[in-house]
Chain A
């Protein structure tokens, strides 16, 4: 045999054996999960046997010796004389590696290198001699299976994921942000071009960019679980320290959040958990005395809510006692007695978020170290989130942290003010109200220099954006036809912002402001809009501060008609507010109202001794409120001769019976706690209350039905 032929055979041997080794790797790993598979063992045995035979023929002594030892072990395994243990699998995998290394050497130099395999061969022999009865095999095999089950997903995860530097992710995120802006600009420009193909292409581009943005954002997402993972231990230790029994419930841990945000809420969350155990959850005996299970429950919940992530820390502890908070706040000089008196319970409880507040009876080493709830709130608000709490004395407290999913790209509402656009982060947005300027005047009032707006009977501190931005007031004839009020929430306060226009929403990329503009506290940043223009992003907290909303809100709490005091024991109710005659006001409970209608006066007909309205193919008996109230009848339908005016009708229904109440005007729908006093009570009138500063009669609907004597069965 000449050298060439020999080389050829060696080459062939190398290629074939390498292929076989790959198969060996797979077979051995598969064997770990199925250690008794004769088929797999047979395949492994055959491969090693072939290697032994060929290497003996080719004169590769080391390979031959190694594969011979492995073959002996495999033979025993195949025949069931030995069981496949983890050690044996390990050593066989080592054999595969060693063969591979030798083959590389042969490939490179044409000969085996001078490695020492005696150690490996000796170990194979030991593992082979260490023969135990096959019966024991199953018991031994067990942990191996467990190990394999563990190893396999790990292995596949390793193949399917890569470690990426966080800085790289950050820069990708900002580049995608730029891409989104560029996309918005392209879309805006293309709208002016009449070219279908271009439109389709841009639409595809737009979709791809959105998907890319989503994808990149996803790479930065981590489950909240990661944040929670350390808490069970913290809770266990704290509970032990305070001799309290606490069980932890976690819900929604898979909820994902941008990693930078996750990092930012870590401390606030830990603080809330510590607080809950230190202050909220009572000692077991106190809990039993209160009729609660000895073990307190602390629940961590995470969920998505309208593009935001909500993290809750809820306990079933003692709850927050407003009286204690008030006393403490007074003692700390955070509020004056007068201020306290004007505060609702909710506002009092909110005092715990003020700087310098700590309710710890004694300073413990857990909380009450000056790191108070104010820091929690500040930290959360720094990332565009909000914290609020609800607490019921005796049954527990729930803190809710709301944070945006991501920081870099946020949805924002674009509003117009004096020919310029501004962006308001949607996280702060509650609702929008549009008013015609003429109608607006009646709902917007000035109370002691501050503007307020009546929103469903609730007084809302209002700021005019143009005024706040320092523009001079417009002359009467320059006033825009309509005013939009954007209702915002920040820092636990509500405020309405009057703007000239509302344009809609856009995904914006927050960009920092330069040093000269940064000093204006009303702006949180700027962004580039679809048309390439720059828009300033309004800082809602800054706006509220500039408008001194806090003071206004406190002042409003004083006024008796601020009817949103939820903490009073009185029930909240909703009324339809009607005008009857010239200036009498009647409130009718909304509960039984089926519809509010403006019926053409022409559809009112006389039937028997009363009036009826043709209503949805039926006849609706009508009762004029003016009759019940004995008011001079000035109802709309009769005021214009012959001209068909419309009449406002409140349609009542209690299941079967229907009744239409005729008023002069439907004014509003008000919600709140109304104390009905027996002043002016009489047939059909329960009494009176004050709504919007007006004395208002409250209708007794049942009595109205009876009084009118209209039995729908008869009429219909």
Chain B
């Protein structure tokens, strides 16, 4: 059974998540989706690409598109000098890097802390995240990795900021 099949079964009570910080948000991505986490890489800007696309990086000879999660969420850009981390995901045979502020630890939240995305969250949040976990002192937003493939540069920016505040 491939990881895809294995995990597509869903509802797995002991799911593990790699956690990442983006601004004030704590984002979780299922461990098996994450190929690797690497430090900031030199990037080639892609003119005319969707605004979420920060650039292309050379990952050992493979060209990987880097998505700026801040931009995707409609959050303000990183302050100057603050470097980002690349979280490289494998999505349908394509490697995509998500640029996050910091990489955190791997967590295994209890299944009973799982909740859906609050219905009060903005449309953008609801399309990006599949659910939440209430951790001690933080709310973990579980990224719906498939939503990465739907990025087209037309997401409503700005909505995320206030909406997630409410959600936490």
Q: Tell me which residues across on chain A come within 8 A of B44, comparing CB atoms.
A: 420, 526, 533-536
Check if A515 is an interface residue, CB within 8 A of chain B: yes
Which residue of the partner chain, among B47, B63, B95, contacts A528 with CB atoms under 8 Å?
B63
Q: Tell me which residues across on chain A come within 8 A of B122, comparing CB atoms.
A: none
B94, A534: Cβ atoms closer than 8 Å: no
Which residue of the partner chain, among A523, A528, A533, contacts B46 with CB atoms under 8 Å?
A523
Check if B10 is an interface residue, CB within 8 A of chain A: no
Count residues of B near A (Cβ-Cβ below 8 Å). 27
B149, A515: Cβ atoms closer than 8 Å: yes
Assuming the contacts A514-B64, A516-B65, asked whether A534 and B58 have C-beta atoms less than 8 A apart, the reply is: yes
B149, A517: Cβ atoms closer than 8 Å: no
Check if A339 is an interface residue, CB within 8 A of chain B: no
Question: Which residues of chain A in 519-550 are interfacial with respect to chain B, using CB atoms and an 8 Å cutoff?
Answer: 519-520, 522-523, 526, 528, 532-536
Check if B49 is an interface residue, CB within 8 A of chain A: yes
A517–B46 CA distance with the chains assembled, in angstroms: 7
Question: Which residues of chain B in 10-68 are interfacial with respect to chain A, using CB atoms and an 8 Å cutoff?
Answer: 42-50, 52-53, 55-58, 61-65, 67
B94, A515: Cβ atoms closer than 8 Å: yes
A528–B44 CA distance with the chains assembled, in angstroms: 11
A523–B44 CA distance with the chains assembled, in angstroms: 13
B58, A528: Cβ atoms closer than 8 Å: yes
Kindly name the residue among A469, A515, A526 whose own CB sees the greatest number of chain B CB atoms within 10 A: A515
Check if B96 is an interface residue, CB within 8 A of chain A: yes
A526, B63: Cβ atoms closer than 8 Å: yes
A516, B49: Cβ atoms closer than 8 Å: yes
A511–B60 CA distance with the chains assembled, in angstroms: 13
Check if A178 is an interface residue, CB within 8 A of chain B: yes
B52, A516: Cβ atoms closer than 8 Å: yes
- Nearest-neighbour CB distance to chain B for A632, whole angstroms, equals 52
B58, A514: Cβ atoms closer than 8 Å: no
Q: Tell me which residues across on chain B come within 8 A of A528, comparing CB atoms.
A: 58, 61, 63
Q: Tell me which residues across on chain A come within 8 A of B47, comparing CB atoms.
A: 469-471, 520, 522
A528–B58 CA distance with the chains assembled, in angstroms: 7
B61, A182: Cβ atoms closer than 8 Å: yes
A409–B50 CA distance with the chains assembled, in angstroms: 28
A470–B153 CA distance with the chains assembled, in angstroms: 15
Assuming the contacts A532-B58, A533-B42, asked whether A514 and B65 have C-beta atoms less than 8 A apart, the reply is: yes
Check if A334 is an interface residue, CB within 8 A of chain B: no
Report the nearest A residue to B94, measured CB to CB: A514
Q: Tell me which residues across on chain A come within 8 A of B62, comparing CB atoms.
A: 511
Closest 8 CB pairs of A and B: A469-B47, A514-B65, A534-B44, A534-B56, A520-B48, A526-B63, A516-B53, A511-B63
Q: Which residues of B contact A (CB under 8 A)?
A: 42-50, 52-53, 55-58, 61-65, 67, 94-96, 149, 151-152
Other contacts beyond A514-B64, A516-B151: 9, CB < 8 A: A514-B63, A514-B95, A520-B47, A520-B48, A522-B48, A533-B42, A534-B44, A534-B63, A536-B46
